[in-house]
Amino acid sequence: MPATVNKTKGSIVVPAFGIIVDHPRNCDVLLQSIPGCRLRSKLKVVTVAVSGEIRSQQVRGVAPPEVPGMELHVNPAACEYVIIDLLNDDDTARAKLKQFLRRSSGTRASSEIKGVDTQRGTLDVHRMKNLCREVIWLLEEGSITMTKGPKPELEDVDELPGHYLLNPGARTENQQPTFEKDYEKWKSLQR
């Protein structure tokens, strides 16, 4: 389903979508547009070539169990997002993960394994526009996969309200302009 035009507001509406983090090397994904957002990848046994030798990822001879990754659901029209950790609903994966931790570290984990609590939030139009573009880039590089809705198209995201932020992950004040559109002018004044 492609983006549609909201007749009353005259703006582009990108349909809601969902993704799951499924990085090929089990890496977490950091999203700059949502402050402090770190999404865990699906964990799976990864086989790598080291100096021509194929090695399987193991800890003390024990292969890690497959653990579901975290999902991000985005509603660009409402500027809302939801982060869901599928591990919370997977009793089997939690039990296997606990067993793996016992066998690989030799310690007894007395508490239950649980995932991250579901998080909901809203973003301003600028951060939402940036988030949609980040998702497109992560899809292109293969770090995430779609779970719900159509893949957002960059041309449609470009038409969303707001402007792209120059440094959406900045947590400290700096002298840079807020928006990418102002960067060239700012740079020319720095000479």
Q: What residues contact 152, with CB distance under 8 A and at least 6 apart?
A: 3, 14, 17, 76, 132, 135, 136
- Decide if 151 is inside a domain: yes
Total-model pTM: 0.84
Looking at residue 189, its pLDDT comes to: 87
**Per-residue pLDDT reduced to its tens digit, 65-90:** 889 999 999 999 999 999 999 999 99
- Decide if 166 is inside a domain: no
Name the residue among 27, 41, 37 with its Cα closest to residue 134: 37
For residue 189 the two structure tokens come to 């004044």
User: Looking at the 3D structure of the chain, how many domains does it have?
Assistant: 1
pLDDT of 150 higher than 50: yes
Looking at residue 10, its pLDDT comes to: 52
- 3-state DSSP call for residue 181? helix
- Decide if 144 is inside a domain: yes
Contact 136, 157 (CB under 8 A): yes
- Decide if 68 is inside a domain: yes
pLDDT of 6 higher than 50: no
Give the residue with greater pLDDT, 169 vs 83.
83
- Decide if 92 is inside a domain: yes
Looking at residue 107, its pLDDT comes to: 67
- Decide if 180 is inside a domain: no
Per-residue confidence band for 105, with pLDDT thresholds at 50, 70 and 90:
confident
**Per-residue pLDDT reduced to its tens digit, 139-148:** 999 999 999 9
- Decide if 169 is inside a domain: no
- Decide if 167 is inside a domain: no
Q: Which domain holds residue 81?
A: 4-161
